[in-house]
Structure 1
Amino acid sequence: MYDLLVVGAGPYGLSIASHAAGAGLRQRVFGRPMASWRDHMPRGMYLKSEPWASNLSDPDGRWRLDTYCAARGVEARHGEPIPLEMFAAYGQWFARNAVPEVDERTVTRVAPVAGGGGFEAVTEDGETVRARTVALAVGVLPFVEIPAALRDLDPDLVSHSSHHGDLDRFRGRDVTVIGGGQAALETAALLAEQGTRVRVLARAEHLTWNDVPPAWERPWWRSARAPQSGLGCGWRNWFYAERPGLFHRLPEPTRARIAATALGPAGAWWVRARVEPAVEVLLGQEVAEARELAGGAGGVRLDTVSRSGERRSLETEHVIAATGFRATADRLGLLDAQLADGLGALTDGSPTVGRHFESSYPGLFLAGLVTASGFGPTMRFVHGATFTAETLVRGVRRRLRAGVGVGVGGVRVPAPGRREGVRSAG
């Protein structure tokens, strides 16, 4: 039986695995490294976060994004976005160097061990693996959110923005993108640039664009008034980015409100010039009804309503819903019913997590977007992986000591602050 099973090999899962290896834990890591970044984001996209805020985390800080870029003759500069393909390749490089062997099979079910402590995970080909603790770092894909009016339409007519590794199928067609955030705006820009007739439809009365980031080196008084952080400038963003442990101490209603409203939909400054001249934007409208065009026309009729009650209709060949994700406990579909029923939930439906990311089911730890209501908006970004990995692995070690006292084979779990059995990352 392993000490830890890590389910997921994106930025959070890989960072957790690296810190667990540094702590001497016997672990298994499942998932295809950086799969969602490689397979579910179109070519030509860029990372919205600053390069220095996009590092995966290892105990020694050796395997940073800027190190990867420098080895390939590229400088990761503040204020210059990194191509998505480069970031995905960086994550794979991190996995090869900072993480024990990753098993690329998918885990389809996690359940408690019958009649004993620990958990068992079943892989896609039927193998069962047992561990004393589990860290679920399943990313965002289980939590895809599509507006209710669109959910019953055929997938050939409606898709989510995360369903596309490329957009070639839409060349020369008419596409409507729903949403006003980065995913919607950058998707629309890429579609326009390849010759697609595209429009953006958003509920907001106006689009929000992020400002060009200030220079890295600034007068001290400017930095004091609006410090840089992994989520942007300003003390509020600094608190969200750099103090998620303190955020966790806020009252639950406050945390839920901030998680739902902070850092709302906005486009990166560098995509604005690509959208405004090339993309039709319909603002202040929400889809009230959608239906397939009659007569085999192969499209969708969208009926929209404004806040004032004004109704409009439009026809399009395909709808891409860039409408984000809703990370609720009931969408963790790989959990056995006993585990799922044992999860406490916050008022917004997200699972309860303790100060070490342990769920209300002892030994089951959660990471990433699903913990945003517990630890704040930074959990929606790569920047949150460092705090998560460090804190969660401490929690795993505490759980192992409390639950079993020693690790597998009688090897004592290292005490906090000591690092034993660090794997060579050559």
Structure 2
Amino acid sequence: MYDLLIVGAGPYGLSIAAHAEARGLDTRVFGRPMESWRHHMPRGMFLKSEPWASHLSAPGPGLGLDRYCAEHGETARHGRPIPVGTFASYGLWFARQAVANLDERMIARIDAAPTGFLVETEDGQVLHSRAVALATGVLPYMRVPEALRGLAEEHVTHSSQHSDLSRFRDADVTVVGAGQAALETAALLAELPARVRIVARAPELAWNSVPPPWVRPWWKSLRAPHSGLGCGWRNWFYAERPGAFRRLPDRTRAAVTASALGPAGAWWIRDRVAAGGVDVRLGETVVDARPVSGRVRIRTVDAAAGARDFDTDHVIAATGFEADCARMTVLAPRVRSVLARSAGGSPRVGRGFASSYPGLFLAGLVTAADFGPAMRFVHGASYTAPTLVDAVERHLARRPRQGGPVVPRGREHQGPVGVTSRANG
């Protein structure tokens, strides 16, 4: 019987594993390390966050992104964006340094057991654990506008379904959305080249400004301190005090979660969008989409101009992610059905990221409704990992171990546990 099984091997899962193993917990983490960063973002993308705000969390020093870059001839400097590929490689390096028990198999099902949980791998092995941390990232929560949901993947995809955009060379592509994913995807498409348009409900595009220098007069730092989510005291509060954010009134948390750090493009992508000749159509909502002669006919509605129809070869929905208990299908129905939920459908978590089901802990995007906007970013792992492991230890102390070896079912996993050369991310 394990003390803690961690499902998900992205920045949050790896950070939790590093802290849990350092505390001496009998731990195992499942998932393809850095999967979304390695296989669900097109080549040529960059991190929006600053390098110093993109460290995975470890219980000791020396495992930050800056250390990785220094050892591998890369540059990690304030105001200079880091390639997504570099960050993915950093995550694999972190796993090799800090996580001993990494198993690249995916988890098919998490079910309740008298003394904890039964966790079934994709190849049928069942393991018993006293606690589970679910850190599956954002991919289960892709949000696609309702008007596009009836189309096949031949005609519409989510932006997170692409690691290579070259298939769209010389094609006509419509990108729906106004955030960083939409704008950077549009820029990359235009540079192929492709004929690109952006359709967004927003009346105008929002752009983040160039960050101020790291070293600056004290009074400027006092007025607008740096934080892992950008400058300013409000961002500092979201980034550095998630525990205090959780104590805000429900209505306040809900309003902040819905509005803070909304869709915006990084300063360094603005000129590329302009230079690429992207057709930007703002204030338009997609209300209908249907296949016509191998293409897609889109209808949009503008409050001023009314309805407009046009044809395109493919639609990419860069419309973000939306946490919802109903999409946590890795959890058996009897576990998922009893989770407390926010008004928006995301699971509620309490102190220490504990869900309402005893022994089940949650991390990442699904906790943003309670712990704030930082949970949508890598930076949130720095608070989540040690806090969650503290709570796991308290939970285990209340429920003494009662035996329970690994229960094999079906084919046993072959080969050593750990990061392998297989392309998982």
Query: Structure 1 residue 20 and structure 2 residue 20: aligned?
Result: yes
Q: 1:242 Cα deviation (Å)?
A: 0.4
Q: Distance in 1 between matches of 2:18 and 2:134?
A: 15
CA displacement at 1:277 relative to structure 2: 2.5
- Paired residues, number: 404
> Deviation string for 1:51-102 (max 9, x for gaps)?
0000001100221000000011223100000001000000000011111131
Question: How far, CA to CA, are the matches of 1:155 and 1:177 in structure 2?
Answer: 14
Structure 2: distance between partners of 1:343 and 1:95:
31
Is 1:231 paired with 2:237?
Answer: no
Name the counterpart of 1:193.
191
Corresponding letter in the other structure for 1:157: H
Correspondence for 1:326: 322
- Amino acid paired to 2:128: R
Other-structure match for 1:418 = none
Equivalent position of 1:398 in the other structure: 394
* Distance in 2 of aligned mates of 1:298 and 1:405: 60
TM-score, normalised to structure 1's length? 0.93
The whole-number CA distance in structure 1 between the counterparts of 2:403 and 2:35 is 31
**1:220-239 Cα deviation digits (max 9, x unpaired):** 10011100000000000000
Q: Which structure 2 residue ranges, 5 or more long, are not aligned?
A: 406-425
Matches within 5 A, 1:105-184: 105-113=105-113, 116-184=114-182
- Residue in 2 that maps onto 1:64: 64
Counterpart residue type for residue 302 of structure 1 = I
**Counterpart Cα distance in 2 of 1:22 and 1:260:** 36
Same amino acid, percent of matched pairs:
61
Q: Are 1:371 and 2:371 counterparts?
A: no
2:289 matched residue in structure 1: 290
1:362 maps to what in 2?
A: 358
1-structure distance, mates of 2:200, 2:160 = 18
Q: How far, CA to CA, are the matches of 1:364 and 1:27 in structure 2?
A: 14
Pick aligned residue for 1:299 from 286, 295, 302: 295
Match of 1:341 in 2: 337
Corresponding residue SS for 1:222: helix
Alpha-carbon deviation of 1:103? 0.4
Q: Give the ranges of 4+ consecutive aligned residues of structure 1 lying more than 3 Å apart after TM superposition.
A: 405-409
Alpha-carbon distance in structure 2 between the residues aligned to 1:62 and 1:252: 38
- Rounded Cα–Cα distance in structure 2 between residues aligned with 1:339 and 1:329: 11
What's the offset of the Cα at 1:408? 8.7
For residues 402 and 330 of structure 2, the distance between their equivalents in structure 1, rounded to whole angstroms, comes to 28
Task: Kindly indicate whether residue 35 of structure 2 is the aligned counterpart of residue 38 of structure 1.
Answer: no
8 A contact 2:138–2:321 mirrored in 1: yes
1:315 equivalent in alignment to 2:311: yes
CA distance in 2, matches of 1:209, 1:26: 45
Change (3 A) 1:407 1:79: farther
CA distance in 2, matches of 1:285, 1:22: 51
Say which SS state the counterpart of residue 276 (structure 1) adopts. helix
- The equivalences for 1:233-248 within 5 A come to 233-248=231-246
- Counterpart of 1:18, as a letter, is A
Task: Give the aligned residue type for 1:359.
Answer: S
Secondary structure of residue in 2 paired with 1:130:
strand
- 1:256-310 CA distance string (max 9 Å, x none): 11111100000000000100121110100000111111xxx21111110113461
Letter in 2 for 1:38: R
User: Separation in 1 of the partners of 2:291 and 2:231?
Assistant: 45
Instruction: Look up the match of 1:414.
Output: none
Offset of 1:28 from its aligned partner? 1.1
> 1:296-336: per-residue Cα shift (whole Å, max 9, x none)?
x2111111011346111111000000000010111101000
